[in-house]
């Protein structure tokens, strides 16, 4: 898909994107690190998770994984939940009452964002059935 098609298919700002997002059954929220060359004041741009310099971009995609909206880039040291809150994404999705799925990085952000629970815990204790 060419860049011109992406630009035409995506909203310019989050408010405009919410008009389309409200019509969807659910959306997927994720962050990505876009690598950059090292800059003079490199500390805010260094991502310890990826062990490189970059810019954090938050994206919202639909069920078919088509891009609905992409945020402006912020320094790569920002974690995904912080970046999402900075752009007002969590609040906007919650106010629109849109079911949102995200990876474990977003655990605990609340609102309408749902993440996979950790492990394969079925609700039973690990020690269930064992003798003391």
State pLDDT tens for residues 93-112. Answer: 999 999 999 999 899 888 88
What is the structure's pLDDT at 49? 67
Beta bridge partners, 113, equal 100
Distance, CA of 42 to CA of 54 (rounded, Å): 9
pLDDT level of residue 28 (50, 70, 90 thresholds):
very high
What is the structure's pLDDT at 10? 52
Q: In this structure, what token pair is assigned to residue 45? A: 């741009």
CA nearest 77: which of 113, 114, 52, 111? 52
Residues 34-87 have pLDDT tens digits of 887 776 666 666 665 656 678 889 999 999 999 999 998 888 778 889 889 999
pTM of the model: 0.71
Residue 5 has pLDDT above 70, yes or no: no
Beta bridge partners, 32, equal 57
CA nearest 39: which of 77, 86, 82, 80? 77
Q: In this structure, what token pair is assigned to residue 109? A: 């952000």
What is the structure's pLDDT at 64? 93
């Amino acid at each position: 898909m060419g860049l011109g098609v992406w630009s035409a298919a995506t909203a310019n700002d989050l408010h405009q994107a919410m008009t389309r997002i409200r019509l969807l059954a659910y959306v997927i929220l994720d962050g990505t690190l876009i690598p950059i060359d090292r800059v003079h004041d490199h500390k805010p741009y260094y991502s310890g998770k990826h062990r490189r310099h970059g810019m954090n971009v938050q994206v919202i995609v639909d069920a078919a994984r088509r891009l609905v909206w992409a945020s402006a880039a912020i320094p790569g040291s920002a974690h995904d939940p912080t970046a999402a809150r900075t752009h007002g994404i969590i609040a906007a999705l919650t106010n629109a009452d849109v079911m949102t799925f995200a990876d474990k990085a977003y655990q605990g952000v609340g609102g309408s964002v749902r993440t996979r629970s950790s492990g394969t815990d079925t609700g039973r204790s690990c020690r269930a059935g064992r003798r003391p």
